[in-house]
Structure 1
Amino acid sequence: MAKTPKKDKTEEKEEHEESGGNKEDRERAYEVLATRVNPIASPLAARKLTKRLYKTVKKASKEKNIRKGIRDVQKFIKKGERGIVLIAGDTTPIEVYCHLPVVCEDAKIPYCYVPAKQDLGEAAGSKRPTCCVLLKPNESYQSSYDECLTDVTTLPRPI
């Protein structure tokens, strides 16, 4: 009878995190991600707001009502589309998206940073990470969109 090799602690920990872990692990995971963001990532969404934003992005992606990527988001902001802009705070180099908050402020569109581009890409229905999403309003998820909009607009803006 063949024995199965023992798993070391790092493999067990990775499996535990992939399976969802417990509440303390998820909170620690957010804290770890929040420490990895770039220095210009302000305002950074809190843990609860980030979770709510990801859920709303998932609903919007099912309705095909989002724009993904820097070029696409910037193009449609200049064309006059409205919504909430979510920017991944862990994107490097910073020069890729450092102009986007200024574009959003000029167009009077609310924006905020979320900790991880991988999570933002997954919420947008993609296997690839994405550094920017424009979340547009729709009737099917209007209540959650409105909650997110009020929370994002109340976040303190950088000076």
Structure 2
Amino acid sequence: MQLFRSILIAGALAITTPALHALDAEAAKPVQKTAMKTPLAPQFSAKSMQGTLLSTQTLAGKAYIVNFFGSWCPYCRKEIPDMVALQEKYEKKGFTFIGMAYKDNEQSMPDFIREHGINYPVIMADEAILYSFGRQIPEGVRSVPTLFAISRDGRLVSVIIGAQTKEEFESIILETLKKPVR
């Protein structure tokens, strides 16, 4: 039986070794880089809880992060003070956060905004918004926090699912504020 196992292992190595060398040869070939444009930002139009009409068009030329959150989500609540501080720091440089309240209570949202000192627009995410942004993620927007970073030229820079630290947010903001390469 031991001899049979040894023969099987030796046979397997003999078969796979040329394949492994072929993979190494492929990996050694230079990769041709092609310039790829990042996709355009998901389209939306909605009135914020603060009364401002926001849309992809009204945000043209501005960098922004759309952050899907829930007032009921402890991770989302933990991010808010950092977002408030960064909004204050980068607003004059052409950046804004946009909070998208996901599966939340519209009647209690004004109190939530006031209690947390939120200084950026907050929108109640409806089906059209969830569809537009959800198309960028295989399963759609299903958990919070989820953020979509949009550059000044209206391109989607990144989609990140999960809570961010202040430093991570700042790094994303700086990426959105970079001048577009033409």
* TM-score range normalised by the length of the shorter chain: 0.3 to 0.5
Q: Which has the higher helix share?
A: 1
Scaled by the length of structure 1, what TM-score is found?
Answer: 0.36
Q: Which has the higher strand share?
A: 2
